[in-house]
Amino acid sequence: MRNYTYTEGGVFIANKDNMAEQYGIGQYRYPHNYELVGRSITVEAEGREYAIEFTCRCGASLNGKKVECEILKCAPGLYFARLGFDVAVIDLNASAATLILEGEIIRGVFKGAEGAVAHACAGDEMVDTKVRWVLGCGRYLEQRFISADKLLASWSPRDEKRDETSYRAVKVGAPYFLVDMKSDILKNVCAPFFTDHVILLQDYDRCMAFGCVFGKGFDPIMVTGYAKFID
Amino acid sequence: MNLRDYKRPFYAINQFCQAHCEELKGQSFRFTMDGGYDVELCFTGEKTLTWRVDGDEPREAVYECVKGDDTTYLVDFDLVETLDTDHRSNDLYVIDLEQRLVTRVFCHIGYNKRLPYLVKMDFDFGAILVEGKETPFRRHCFSSELIGTCVEWHWNFEMWTHHKYYDSDYYTLTWPEDSAAVQNLGGPFELLPSHDDVTKVIKIKDKMYLFCLTEELMERVLQGPVFRSNNMIFLQNYDRMVHAGRTFGTIMQDGKPVPCRTLFGSFGNPIKLPDEVLYAENAYTV
């Protein structure tokens, strides 16, 4: 395909650089990962079992219920999976998984994995962190962790509009934190208007985040972003 | 704790690299190459493969893999028998399952007697043979379509550089003052008449290109204690403005040349470069 147009003055060549507007905050999402396809995992937590079967590249079953599935590989052996409107962080290295099912955080271990330890609650370990997650060209989320359950959030381009919102965080091994942040209705920002939930697996070693943005009236948006520390 | 202060190792261009992709484990491919030979790649493990050309004895290698999109893989490995020699060689394949096409970039060191660390790239194009299916006649191809494109690539959380693609065979590298590139790259580069180097661009599909460069021109001018060189190959996805790739060559460590092979990744932004950069001449060409 030619990338030039003949004009009276000569030839016009169109650039390839672009803002990728078509993807919005999902722009930088890494390619899907299919390593878990065909794998079944049963997670045990507090005496209950949760069965996940990754049946195909875009489908899974969760406790026998068929759901849409998208998976991002965050690190060797560590995956962020969207299962319909729920989330599973699968940690093959520790034989542990954290699920967020209908808003409830479930920290468990693989069935039969002797000595496996579930991911821990992050407590106040993230307090004082001020980070901007750049999810696309000029599209970012800023998070300022002010207490163990509250943070200030703002979306581009309205950096000044910081909303205090609640969050829960799980420590998934040393540099990885799973942050589940509530969101109010957003206006004139890069995220969709009815965003109500942002779940990010944040890697403070490689300074990247992988996750999903949920809300009413739009399909969940898988995201990947890189960190810019604000201070 | 402010997690900005998390004790992390020093990252240069590899901080935003994708995790190694193990999806190809258990799969085998047969490529028919336009160079007149067939290649078989068998992914025997998560990091191991065997490869053979035209029915030769299969040879083992340790590979790394990253993805350009959901169905395009960049697979890279060193030829084991050349490791620890002065003629190290590296094989890189872009396996495009969507179009059943493949590009091979074979890089080797030691061919130039005067500049023994200079990396040479050889390219070949081909198709993936699938039993019962017609072999595609189209190929990935050399391209001039990147001309005019300028991108700011973010390599780690404090380093970003600017690329200007103004020619099929050359590109320009610059960086803004607020980037850590000033410290990481700045010094020796400031001695150069310009930051241009030798490239090749291959079109993989719409909005996806394999951008290949060899550090050569600037090294000739710098004339450091040792002429070293790196080859960098970027699988650039302009649909999402990201890339993944690898570098192969030699770096200087404690004043000595040491082998280098690293995977990298980066996030892009369009950038408006100043006119003095946009219209700068390539000082290395007539």
- Shortest CB distance from B240 goes to which of A15, A27, A127? A27
CB contact at 8 A, B74 and B94: yes
Would you call the peptide bond into B225 cis, given omega within 30 degrees of 0 as the criterion?
A: no
Same domain, B175 and B273: yes
Contact A206 B22 (CB under 8 A): no
Measured between CB atoms, which of B8, B23, B154 is closest to A33? B23
Residues B79 and B175 in one domain: no
Is the entire prediction scored with pTM above 0.90? Answer: yes
State yes or no: pLDDT of B223 exceeds 80.
no
Query: Does B273 share its domain with B192?
Result: yes
Nearest-CA residue of chain B relative to A130? B2
User: Do B126 and B169 lie in a common domain?
Assistant: no
Residue B19 falls inside a structural domain: no
Domain boundary among B138, B159, B192: B138
Put simply, the answer to whether A23 touches B240 (Cβ < 8 Å) is yes
Within a domain: B66: yes
Closest Cα in chain B, distance from residue A71 (Å) = 11
With 90 as the cut, is the pLDDT of residue B253 above it? no
| Residue B123 scores a pLDDT above 70 | yes
Contact A138 B269 (CB under 8 A): yes
| Residue whose token pair is 């030039």 | A4
Instruction: Give which of B155, B55, B117, B87 is closest to B249, Cα–Cα.
Output: B117
Preferred mutation among A4, A11, A30 to probe B, highest tally of B CBs within 10 A:
A30
pLDDT reported for residue A85: 96
- Gap from A48 CA to chain B (nearest CA, Å): 31
Least Cα distance to B197 among B173, B175, B176 occurs for: B173
Contact with chain B for residue A30, Cβ under 8 A = yes
Does the CB of B267 have a partner CB in chain A at under 8 Å?
Answer: yes
**Domain CATH for B147:** 2.40.128
Give the range of the structural domain holding residue B208, as residue numbers without chain letter: 142-278
- Picking from A131, A137, A175, the nearest residue to B270 by CB comes out as A137
- Specify if B283 maps to a domain: no
For residue B24, give the 3-state DSSP assignment: coil
Interface with B, mutate which of A16, A128, A132 (most B CBs under 10 A): A16
Q: Do B174 and B265 belong to one domain?
A: yes
Cα distance between residue A220 and residue A213, in whole Å: 6
Residue B197 maps to a domain: yes
Domain count, chain B: 2
Residue B279 has pLDDT above 80, yes or no: yes
Judge whether B134 lies within some domain. yes
- Is residue B116 a part of any domain in this protein? yes
Q: What is the per-residue pLDDT for B232?
A: 97
Is A13 in CB contact (< 8 Å) with chain B?
yes
For residue B6, being part of any structural domain is answered with no
CATH value at residue B76: 2.40.128.20
Which member of A17, A206, A207 has the closest CB to residue B151?
A: A17
**Which residues are within 8 A (CB) of A38 and not within 5 positions of it... i.e. 6 or more apart?**
A54, A55
Do B134 and B146 reside in the same domain of the chain?
Answer: no
Same domain, B146 and B270: yes
In chain B, the percentage of residues whose pLDDT exceeds 90 is: 79
Same domain, B66 and B34: yes
Do B122 and B146 belong to one domain? Answer: no
Residue of A nearest to B206 (CA): A1
Judge whether B84 lies within some domain. yes
- Give the C-alpha separation, A58 to A84, whole Å: 10
Domain boundary among B114, B138, B162: B138
For residue B180, give Cα distances in angstroms to A135, B29, B186, B197: 21, 41, 9, 21
pLDDT tens-digit profile of A101-136?
999 999 999 999 999 999 999 999 999 999 999 999
> Which of B138, B168, B201 represents a domain boundary (last residue)?
B138
Query: Are B155 and B252 in the same domain?
Result: yes
- The answer to whether the CB of B6 falls within 8 A of the CB of A176 is no
Same-domain status, B162 and B93:
no
Strand pairing partners for A150?
A: A166
Reading the block at residue B267, the tokens are: 């996030």
Res B181: pLDDT: 76
- Check: complex ipTM more than 0.90: yes
Residue at token pair 């542990």? A96
Token duo for residue B260: 């280098």
Same domain for B198 and B114, yes or no, is no
